[in-house]
Structure 1
Amino acid sequence: MNIEDLRAQTPGCARVTHLNNAGAALPPRQVIDAVDGHLRLESMIGGYEAAEQAEPALERFYDAVAGLIGADRDEIAYVENATRAWDMAFYAIPFVPGDRILTTSSEYASNAIPYLQVAARQDVRVDVVPDDRYGQISLEALEAELAKGDVRLVSINHIPTYNGLVNPAAEVGRLCRAANALFLLDACQSVGQLRVDVTEIGCDILSATGRKFLRGPRGTGFLYVRRPLVRTLEPPFLDLHSASWTAPDAYEIRDDARRFETWERFVAGQIGLGAAADLAVALGLDEIERRVTRLAARLRDDLAGRPGIKVLDRGERRSGIVTFTVDGHEAAGVKLALRERGVNVSVTHGSDQQFDPAAVSPAVRASVHYYNTNEELDRLVAALPA
């Protein structure tokens, strides 16, 4: 990768040191132009007419995302965000009383709350699998829980929103297949910074967002559902796109993943998300992963070497997310002080990680991407309050 060229294609790099990519990355010119171009077309000829003219680009989205994660195009749905993509799949699973859902201690609130809702409605049990010594989901404990039976679903995050680790998704997939349990992977923090291949991982369902490491438009996301599973899942709501009204008293649901879509959507966003997926593949997913991992490791080392800073990250394998605290300073205050110096970071909150007793709250979260530089990491460290 030519980092200078990539930064030149990212207008925000000239204005800010952006280390909040786990929140929303800076979009590249290819995505900006794709979205802006379609919005301008809508303004000139009308929204419906523009969508008809953009049909090839809309269809390209399915090929682009399928190529990004090693899927087939009929296994991909365009959804307005990762949360809604995840919800559409989760609430389609036909739970029955006595079923168990297994998850990890680092699960995020937007997923944990639906577990609890379904548990209360349908007499389903939610069990949190303990961590291993690295802080990620324990494969030994997961295997033991699966052996107890009644597990309908194993649902975990690939990368938590905090603490830096990468969960061993492929190993989880192997255990799920052996136990005939469904595997739902929340990949909103991994797609775009790691090579994510659904065949290698063995997940049945995967949800992801556009705005984070994929560098797509905000308000976009996608859902992958393994082809043999699609027809067994009835979405929680339907419209004239996801189903056909075949008679006054009958309808027929689509037989591909687009049964999880709705007709009305952010058309320019879908085109932009396809452009973002194409860019990631063109740059090379392995190369992206190597650079992100290397930058994050350097930042952890630099932070750990400074007095008064505690790096909180765990995991045998670590991601581009770096979390830390600064002695004597609230995380929110650190975030604001850095922003005044032109450095963007975020804050993590323990209320979003109720399953994890080891979660430190609040904490500063810096998240690197391939367009960041060593000089920007130095700028962050130098700008931290003493």
Structure 2
Amino acid sequence: MSPLDVQQLREATPGCQSGIVHFNHAGASLPSQATLDAIIEQLQHEARHGPMEAGEQGAVLVENARRAAGQLLNAPPSSIAFASSGSTAWSMAFQALGPWRPGERILVGRHEWGGNLASMELAVQAGARVEVIPCDATGAVCPVALEAMLDTKVKLIDLAWLPANGGLINPAQAIGEVARRHAIPYFIDAGQAVGQVPVDVQALQCDVLKSAGRKHLRGPRGTALLYVRPDFLAHLNPAQRDVFSAPWTADGFDLRNDARRFETSEASFALLAGLGNALQEINRLGIEQVWESVSQTSTRIRAALGQIPGISLHDLGSTHSGLIAFNLAGWDSFELKRRLGLKGINIGANGVAYTPLDMQARGLNSIARISVSPLNTDDDVEVLMKALGELND
């Protein structure tokens, strides 16, 4: 992206005018003014005309968002559902795979998100087993090792594509090829991928993919995307149903034949209006441009961190995302986050619970995390490095 492109993005984003240096886009990024306006406009419409009466306009905005999400993921709009969070979306799809039986196996990467592992507990209580796919020499999930694990008891392969605790980019497409060859359901947690890297669900060959709206998409909190491959929909039987997801017909209550079987009649049209605007913005900008910008900036940050004594980087894999996990000697990660916040610099910090299998395997109690966006400039990087250098003195 050119300096002019970045300047225009920043001018359209109130958070960039506030004096804050924001490097916590993997937690939640900064929305544009247009996204805020879309939310407020729908709320005003509901206030003036009645919340229920404004539903017709709200439904149009939701379908606009669905089309924009489909464009971003290379998916038909009918394969997209909206949820209140990425964890909720993933859990609904996972529970819809049931019932689970003794001896069934769930294969996960070592970097699995803690919330997904928590959702698997009901399956474990029913007798299923969660097993970890070995890593290759770089620390990424190994497709060859995965294939060697497969048998008729494997009911699900689940992958955290870009884990929350570092810069790893797992080989999601290669894992998908293995899953498809053996006709095993394949879920992708793309919470840190959608809006940061190009995502093509056809190439990934996944059956389910989820992502939050608040992260790299720059949408509002309380929104998330759920993709379900149309041919896989018949394998999913959601426990949560209402008059929207399972409308009354002459033959009784029938589940919808598209991804909306995971939605309900009650949704925030205002938030989804904001998400729709954010999706349209990233489609106009181009995800390839976004990824190139993120990659360049994060490469500069990694190089600069390497020049600060006491900094240890925790990257895995051969290529790296815009999530940079590190520790500074003598500092607790959460205290480091707090102290930088007092200087007007936002970063993230993660404990063991977020990615417990990987954190324990690497002996990490916590990590500080810088996460990058096209909104970040060289000046932002300089401010961050200066502050880290001062704290290290």
TM-score under structure 2 length normalisation: 0.95
Aligned to 2:336: 334
| Residue aligned with 1:207, SS | strand
The answer to whether the 8 Å contact 1:353/1:359 transfers is no
Q: Residues of 1 paired with 2:41 and 2:213: CA distance?
A: 18
Structure 1 counterpart of 2:101, from 96, 100, 115: 96
Aligned to 1:150: 153
User: Does 2:376 align with 1:372?
Assistant: yes
| Residue aligned with 1:48, SS | coil
Aligned to 1:71: 75
Q: Residues of 1 paired with 2:313 and 2:306: CA distance?
A: 6
Aligned to 2:169: 166
Q: After superposition, where does 1:258-277 map in structure 2 within 5 Å?
A: 258-277=260-279
Q: Residues of 2 paired with 1:361 and 1:7: CA distance?
A: 35
Q: Residues of 2 paired with 1:96 and 1:332: CA distance?
A: 41
Q: Residues of 2 paired with 1:358 and 1:47: CA distance?
A: 51
Aligned to 1:343: 345
| Residue aligned with 1:254, SS | coil
User: Does 2:215 align with 1:212?
Assistant: yes
Q: After superposition, where does 1:1-386 map in structure 2 within 5 Å?
A: 1=1, 2-15=5-18, 16-94=20-98, 95-121=100-126, 123-146=127-150, 148-246=151-249, 250-356=252-358, 357-358=361-362, 360-384=364-388, 385-386=391-392
| Residue aligned with 1:106, SS | coil
Q: CA deviation at 1:116?
A: 2.6
Q: Residues of 1 paired with 2:155 and 2:121: CA distance?
A: 15
Q: Residues of 2 paired with 1:311 and 1:177: CA distance?
A: 35
Identity of aligned pairs, percent?
37
Q: Residues of 2 paired with 1:201 and 1:53: CA distance?
A: 34
For these two proteins, the number of residue pairs brought into alignment is: 383
**Amino acid of the residue matched to residue 13 of structure 2?**
T
Q: CA deviation at 1:96?
A: 3.2
Q: CA deviation at 1:359?
A: 5.2
Name stretches of at least 5 consecutive residues in structure 2 with no aligned partner.
none
Q: CA deviation at 1:354?
A: 2.3
The answer to whether the 8 Å contact 1:3/1:371 transfers is yes
The answer to whether the 8 Å contact 1:231/1:256 transfers is no
Q: Residues of 2 paired with 1:352 and 1:196: CA distance?
A: 23
Q: CA deviation at 1:53?
A: 2.6
1:17-46: per-residue Cα shift (whole Å, max 9, x none)? 000000000001221111111111111111
Over the aligned positions, Cα root-mean-square deviation in angstroms equals 1.3
| Residue aligned with 1:222, SS | strand
1:94-150: per-residue Cα shift (whole Å, max 9, x none)? 3333221100111111001122321112x111111111111111112111112x332
**Amino acid of the residue matched to residue 153 of structure 2?**
D
Q: Residues of 2 paired with 1:319 and 1:82: CA distance?
A: 19
The answer to whether the 8 Å contact 2:164/2:354 transfers is no
The answer to whether the 8 Å contact 1:193/1:289 transfers is yes
Q: Residues of 2 paired with 1:359 and 1:51: CA distance?
A: 51
Bigger CA drift: 308-317 or 355-364?
355-364
Q: Residues of 1 paired with 2:283 and 2:202: CA distance?
A: 17
Q: CA deviation at 1:289?
A: 0.6
The answer to whether the 8 Å contact 2:157/2:185 transfers is yes
| Residue aligned with 1:253, SS | coil
1:38-88: per-residue Cα shift (whole Å, max 9, x none)? 111111111111221333222111111100100001111111111111011
| Residue aligned with 1:54, SS | helix
The answer to whether the 8 Å contact 2:213/2:219 transfers is yes
| Residue aligned with 1:355, SS | helix
Q: CA deviation at 1:361?
A: 2.1
Name stretches of at least 5 consecutive residues in structure 1 with no aligned partner.
none
1:138-172: per-residue Cα shift (whole Å, max 9, x none)? 112111112x3321100111110112111110000
The answer to whether the 8 Å contact 1:137/1:167 transfers is yes
Q: Residues of 1 paired with 2:335 and 2:60: CA distance?
A: 47
Q: Residues of 2 paired with 1:353 and 1:187: CA distance?
A: 14
**Amino acid of the residue matched to residue 214 of structure 1?**
L
The answer to whether the 8 Å contact 1:350/1:359 transfers is no
The answer to whether the 8 Å contact 2:208/2:226 transfers is yes
